[in-house]
């Protein structure tokens, strides 16, 4: 058995012994009982001479390889969203480049493997700087510009929340005006993304109300009034009761895509009145387990489904703990531990947003969930990171 020295909350260290990794059986896309998108991270390029807080350097090959890996597990890819540090290290110019490259990669993957590579791409207004003089027409024009760019590239749209709209809107009617204008123009049904303020504080009061239940009424009116242009809604509020409440009020045929990284196994499993599909950042980190669990669900083996996912829940809650917006650090760290990239550098220099103790606990929880696929290599990489962080061996 392999072990690694980890810090403990009392200021001491321990020799942590890793367990055996779990064998996860991949599930083909055609056998998936739910639509399951993994919101995917990006890989920084450490070879470029840039200032990480100011500039963005992307390792395109490693970034696209991770998407191919997700497709090989039967998962879809939700591209250029908050997990890809959209608006938090990734600007629009880099995002549309990522989207175009991912669309090309999805086509290549489908052609080479004879299977669909599910892909949806984020559209927002992030090239428009929120300001006092920005009005609703500016927000509409910004959404239209990005929609046209993604549709021209052959992409499917996830309509993301807008910081500029939060600042420009004076009430629910302004949100209705903007969304109705965009929905009447899109070529294919979109996924609307309601990103809560715990993920992005600049989105406090979205849909014209600080109270989520009041905001939900506005969002539902927009969605249920345009069912021909809305495939579904991704709700990222980290509150299962609110998601279920909204899910039960959606018009027939409109999907709920859970964005609840705290309660996803229960929400995807569903109840007698319905279930949620998935569009989750944590599926980037636990992709093998997510694929295998959904395969068990497809075989109607719900005991195995919960047996696989239950240990990942503590890991997910840890990665997404407050301040939730720093969760990207944990996602990238786990990809590094599993050999999916050669370094633990995050775009924007965000490898420093979580503490040494946080990373150590993430390592323990990933091991408990059976997600460290090569324990010896994971221990070696963890030892390197701990050494840099001053943890004595």
Domain ranges of the chain: 3-388
| pLDDT given for residue 263 in this prediction | 98
pLDDT in tens, the chain (393 residues): 899 999 999 999 999 999 999 999 999 999 999 999 999 999 999 999 999 999 999 999 999 999 999 999 999 999 999 999 999 999 999 999 999 999 999 999 999 999 999 999 999 999 999 999 999 999 999 999 999 999 999 999 999 999 999 999 999 999 999 999 999 999 999 999 999 999 999 999 999 999 999 999 999 999 999 999 999 999 999 999 999 999 999 999 999 999 999 999 999 999 999 999 999 999 999 999 999 999 999 999 999 999 999 999 999 999 999 999 999 999 999 999 999 999 999 999 999 999 999 999 999 999 999 999 999 999 999 999 999 999 977
| pLDDT given for residue 213 in this prediction | 98
* Whole-model pTM over 0.95: yes
- CATH 3.40.605.10 correct for 3-388: no
| pLDDT given for residue 393 in this prediction | 72
Q: Which residues pair with 38 in a beta bridge?
A: 77, 280
| pLDDT given for residue 1 in this prediction | 82
């Amino acid at each position: 058995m392999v072990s690694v020295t980890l810090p403990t909350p009392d200021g001491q260290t321990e020799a942590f012994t890793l367990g055996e990794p779990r064998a996860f059986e991949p599930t083909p896309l055609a056998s998936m009982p739910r639509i399951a998108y993994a919101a995917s991270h990006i890989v920084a390029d450490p070879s470029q001479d840039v200032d990480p807080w100011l500039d963005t350097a992307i390792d395109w090959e490693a970034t696209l390889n991770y998407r191919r890996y997700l497709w090989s597990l039967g998962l879809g890819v939700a591209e250029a969203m908050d997990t890809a540090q959209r608006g938090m290290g990734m600007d629009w110019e880099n995002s549309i480049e990522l989207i175009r490259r991912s669309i090309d990669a999805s086509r290549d993957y489908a052609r080479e493997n004879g299977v669909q590579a599910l892909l949806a791409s984020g559209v927002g207004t992030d090239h428009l700087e929120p300001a006092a003089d920005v009005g609703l027409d500016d927000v509409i024009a910004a959404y239209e510009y990005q929609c046209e760019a993604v549709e021209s590239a052959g992409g499917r749209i996830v309509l993301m929340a807008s910081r500029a709209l939060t600042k420009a809107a004076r009430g629910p009617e302004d949100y209705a005006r903007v969304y109705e204008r965009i929905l009447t123009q899109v070529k294919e049904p979109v996924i609307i993304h309601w990103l809560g303020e715990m993920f992005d504080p600049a989105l406090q009061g979205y849909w014209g109300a600080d109270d989520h239940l009041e905001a939900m009424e506005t969002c539902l009116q927009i969605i249920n009034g345009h069912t021909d242009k809305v495939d579904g809604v991704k709700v990222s509020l980290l509150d299962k009761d609110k998601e279920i409440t909204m899910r039960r009020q959606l018009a027939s045929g409109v999907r709920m895509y859970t964005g609840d990284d705290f309660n996803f196994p229960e929400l995807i499993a569903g109840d007698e009145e319905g279930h949620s599909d998935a569009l989750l950042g944590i599926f980037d980190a636990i992709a093998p387990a997510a694929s295998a669990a959904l395969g068990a669900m497809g075989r109607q083996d719900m005991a195995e489904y919960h047996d696989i996912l239950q240990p990942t829940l503590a890991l997910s809650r840890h990665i997404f703990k407050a301040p939730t917006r720093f969760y990207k650090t944990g996602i990238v760290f786990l990809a590094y531990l599993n050999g999916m990239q050669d370094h633990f550098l995050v775009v924007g220099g965000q490898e420093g947003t979580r503490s040494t103790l946080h990373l150590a606990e993430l390592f323990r929880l990933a091991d408990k969930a059976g997600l460290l696929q090569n324990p010896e290599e994971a221990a070696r990489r963890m030892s390197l990171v701990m050494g840099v962080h001053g943890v004595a061996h």
